[in-house]
Amino acid sequence: MGYVSAVSVPQPRAARQGGAAPSGARRSLAAALLLGALGATVVLLSAGQIWAEGTASVGGGTVPVEAEGGAVTGVPTALAIVGLAALVAVFAVRRTGRTMVAALLALSGAGAALAAVLGASDRSALNAEAARISGNTAAAVGGLSHTVWPYVTAAGAVLILAAGLFALRFGTSWPAMGGRYERSGAPRAARRPATVDPDRPEDLWKALDRGEDPTHRS
């Protein structure tokens, strides 16, 4: 009797320690989802805003020209979409696959941020717009200025990068799709079909509801 009481003391303590991990996993999971979704939304929205403005000479005068982020560079938009796909895919894979997808998520954010920063000083899109308006392929834009939107795009991309880093650091403790059906590595024993009495109509209907053949004899 003394031996039983001695080994039963640590059990509540072990249960408390085991319950702390899922709570931390849920917090890191929620943070990654929030950062990734918010970052991708910011990138996609800000890439459609005006990034650069200037003037072009037409017929002895000047007309304003402007270029949206998508005209300056399409890289942030494309990588934000890749990041969203990776954010979803990270829950469908396990182990090495999850690490690879998390790395892709982080690289998508880093690449989008770099492309947005480089696009903040780009003038080729405005020059192309000036040439289109003036009809002169050699036309160059004057009075060039850039808005804050490239940097907003870069900030959103950094959030995607942070989501990827969260997935790399804590992803091994996150659940996977269908994980509740795989609680152990051992195969589940096949369920024996319930006994069906052919003389009881209710048994026949229950067997049909379960997808069993009531006429089959084991």
Tens-digit pLDDT profile for residues 146-199: 889 999 999 999 999 999 999 998 878 777 665 444 444 445 555 555 565 555
- Can you give the pLDDT at residue 13? 44
- pLDDT at position 20: 42
Residue 63 has pLDDT above 90, yes or no: no
Q: What is the pLDDT of residue 127?
A: 75
- Please report which confidence band the pLDDT of residue 208 belongs to, taking 50, 70 and 90 as the band edges: low
What pLDDT is recorded for position 6? 43
Instruction: Compute the average pLDDT of residues 139-144.
Output: 70
Average pLDDT of the residues in 110-136: 83
Do residues 111 and 176 lie in contact, with contact meaning Cβ atoms separated by under 8 Å?
no
| 151 within some domain | yes
Judge whether 92 lies within some domain: yes
CATH code (residue 100): 1.20.140
Expressed as residue numbers, the domain containing 141 is 26-176
Sheet holding 61-68, edge to edge: 61-68, 50-58, 142-146
Residue 13 to residue 15: CA distance in whole angstroms: 5
Q: Determine the pLDDT at residue 213.
A: 59
- Any domain includes 1: no
Asked, for residue 116, whether it belongs to a domain, the answer is yes
Residue 33 within a domain: yes
DSSP string, 37-103: HHHHHHHHHHTTSEEEEEEEEETTEEEEEEEEHHHH-SHHHHHHHHHHHHHHHTTT--HHHHHHHHH
User: Bigger pLDDT: 156 or 133?
Assistant: 156
Side-chain-side CA neighbours of residue 113 (13 Å): 15
Residue pointed to by tokens 């995607």: 160
pTM exceeds 0.95 for this model: no
CA 108 to CA 104: how far, in whole Å? 6
Can you give the pLDDT at residue 177?
Answer: 60
- Residue 164 domain-assigned (yes or no): yes
Decide if 36 is inside a domain.
yes
202 assigned to some structural domain: no
Domain count for the chain, please give it.
1
> Between helices 149-170 and 75-89, what is the axis angle to 10°?
20
